[in-house]
Amino acid sequence: MEELLSELKEKFPTVIIEIQEKDYFTLICKRAGFLDLMKYLKDEKGFKYLIDLCGVDYLEYKYKNFKERFEVVYHLYNLDNKTLLRLKVRIPEEDCWHFSVTPLFRTANWFEREVYDMFGISFKGHPNLKRILMPDDWEGHPLRKDYPVYLEEEQEWKTYKELKEKIKEQS
Amino acid sequence: MTTYLEINKKQVNEEKWEEPFYLNMGPQHPSTHGVLRLFLELEGETIVNCTPIIGYLHRGVEKLAETLNYNQTIVLSDRLDYIASAANNTAFALAFEKLMGLEVPRRAKLLRTIVCEMARICNHLLWLATHALDIGAMTVFLYCFRDREWLLNIYEKICGARLTHTYVRIGGVRQDFTQEIIDELYKFTEEFPPRIYDYETLIDVNRIWLKRTKGIAVVSAEDAINLGLTGPVLRGSGVPYDVRKFRPYDAYGEVDFIVPTGKNGDTYDRYRVRMEELRQSNRIIRQCLDKLSETEGEPVLAENAPDLLIPEKVRKPEPKPVPKKGVIFKGEEVPVVPPGEAFASIESPKGELAVYVVSDGSGKPWRLRVRTPSFVHISAIPFMAKNHLIADLIAIIGTLDIVLGDSDR
């Protein structure tokens, strides 16, 4: 594992900012050149299985030592030598986009749609980027930290409000 | 969603339409096992394109978890995959234990393994029952439910609940097995294997069953990995990936079992894999029961496990509350959970269930991410259903073994 990490650091000095050793090895990456790193990991190093792709909102997080708001976290797995690798990319709020890895891993298709739905991070190169769990005409991105858990009545979903009024008229 | 509606309206209003023909399947369709909606583009009876639409059962578990403390979050996990809730509990508990640095006692690990394997048998029995019913074999349904009922009764004796049992707790399990339960389980493990054989005689070489399953929805090993398929679906394609073997958790490191794999990657092979898994689960339960006698009388909960929170509104404050070390919300939160992140995954009956949790040092998770197998499996339906008949789509939904509560969260 250490060999792989040093090799990666040598090959992609501009992409990898930092290597952390936590429960699994974690690579903090830059957005530019990230796709090349993923392609290299998949094709040359055997990390063929993307376990998970998710977003995290670090708005007003107490132990934060970086200035960007979001993080996109990848968990990659190598089925041959049983190693798990975590990759993180930090996304600033005002420039809220990232490269899509769907051309490499078809699993990422729905994961990225979910991140877009929940956090509003758009993915460049995604074939069909639209909401997945929430209705298409929903406003806001629910998993952001500044989105309330309980909505006030005037903030309710538009379609639901229309339906309620319709029922009132009929009864 | 409006776009699909518009297409449908246009199709109905026009007197004469040309192919392709659009059809809505679901969300209220008996064989979609929940509220799955499939928007089909048909040419005759052949599926040209298929778009799954999910989200009808979205309850916002991930958002809700950010407002609850860690022990309360485990209760939410029951509601994800309600067929095999013990597996979900374990996944959540493993991630939190990793975060808190708790060491689970050996007896608790054995008990967890037993309930997880019981959940696997429950799940596979229900899967076999409904899958066979969808395809047209009615008899299997009744027999499978008889056996599942037996297991649910044992669950009831263990923790009082039949479906949503929050038996697994952070740091161990809620309570120990009684001798009655152990005897009952011994009886079950003895009587169950011949019954698996009975089910196989019903459908294994049945001509209709073979015609409906052989060569349907073939997925090659490479495609399966790229699509993120896990569990029996991946193993049916011949990849022996099983989290229980690759990253052992609980007591799986010390029990002996085989990971069955298929060859062709079609619906029939996935059926064979699941039937073998039933036997292996039975073996694991048997071995764990034997090991239980070695750890007689040992604790089933780690000493420094967080105390369960009882809301103050419900219970009146006692004259002398003795707070154990744990998370107590009384104006101030006691930071017992170190800040950081943890990732844990288990082999749930449906596939790989992974939990990624980020903590900010307070009593509540900062972010809780659940990677559920059903979500990924539904995303693979368009690939698998291409150029198949509508009738085969039912077999494909069945063979993927999806639960919509699991995918929509």
Considering its fold, how many domains does chain B have in total? 1
CA distance to A143, A163, B80, B371, per residue, from B88 (Å)? 22, 36, 7, 11
Structural domain contains residue B299: yes
CATH number at residue B174: 1.10.645.10
Q: What is the pLDDT of residues B340-365, one digit of tens each?
A: 888 998 988 988 999 999 988 777 88
Judge residue B48's burial from the number of C-beta atoms within 10 Å of its C-beta, 0-12 exposed, 13-18 middle, 19 or more buried: middle
Q: What is the pLDDT of residue B314?
A: 47
pLDDT at B335 over 60: no
The closest of B146, B135, B126, B212 to B403, measured between CA atoms, is B126
Q: Do B369 and A63 touch (CB under 8 A)?
A: no
Q: What is the pLDDT of residues A89-145, one digit of tens each?
A: 988 888 888 888 888 888 888 999 999 988 888 888 888 888 888 888 888 888 888
The whole domain housing B201 covers 89-309+334-351
The domain segmentation of chain A, as residue ranges, is 1-170
List the beta bridge partners of residue B171: none
Q: What is the pLDDT of residue B312?
A: 47
Q: What is the pLDDT of residue B332?
A: 42
Determine contact: B63 vs chain A, CB below 8 A: yes
Structural domain contains residue B155: yes
Residues 18-57 of B with CB under 8 A from A: 54-55
Q: Which pair of structure tokens corresponds to residue B128?
A: 């076999």
Sort out which chain A residues have CB atoms less than 8 A from B352's CB and list them: 51
Q: Domain A1-170 sits in which CATH superfamily?
A: NADH:ubiquinone oxidoreductase Nqo5 subunit (3.30.460.80)
Looking at the complex, report in whole angstroms how far the Cα of residue B58 sits from the nearest Cα belonging to chain A. Answer: 7
What letter does residue A156 receive in the DSSP assignment? S
Given a contact cutoff of 8 angstroms between Cβ atoms, the answer to whether A101 and A108 are in contact is yes
Looking at the complex, report in whole angstroms how far the Cα of residue B294 sits from the nearest Cα belonging to chain A. Answer: 31
Q: Lowest-pLDDT range, A162-166, B30-34, B222-226?
A: B30-34
Structural domain contains residue B42: no
Q: Please give the average per-residue pLDDT across B151-174, as a whole number.
A: 87
Q: What is the pLDDT of residue B2?
A: 53
Listed in sequence order, the residues at least 6 apart from B57 whose beta carbon sits closer than 8 Å to its beta carbon are B34, B35, B404, B405, B408
Sort out which chain B residues have CB atoms less than 8 A from A50's CB and list them: 228
What's the farthest any 2 CA atoms get from each other in chain B? 80
Q: What is the pLDDT of residues B10-59, one digit of tens each?
A: 767 776 666 677 888 878 777 777 788 888 888 888 888 888 888 888 88
Whole-angstrom Cα distance, residue A53 to residue B281? Answer: 30
Q: What is the pLDDT of residue A167?
A: 92
* Res. B331 pLDDT band, cuts 50 70 90: very low
How many CA atoms does the CB half-sphere of B141 hold within 13 Å? 10
Phi/psi at B223 (nearest 5 deg)? -60, -40
Whole-number average pLDDT of chain A? 86
Whole-angstrom Cα distance, residue B112 to residue B265? Answer: 31
Q: Do B227 and A149 touch (CB under 8 A)?
A: no
* Signed CA dihedral, B284, B290, B295, B299: sign only: positive
Structural domain contains residue B255: yes
The closest of B75, B101, B94 to B304, measured between CA atoms, is B101
Structural domain contains residue B48: no
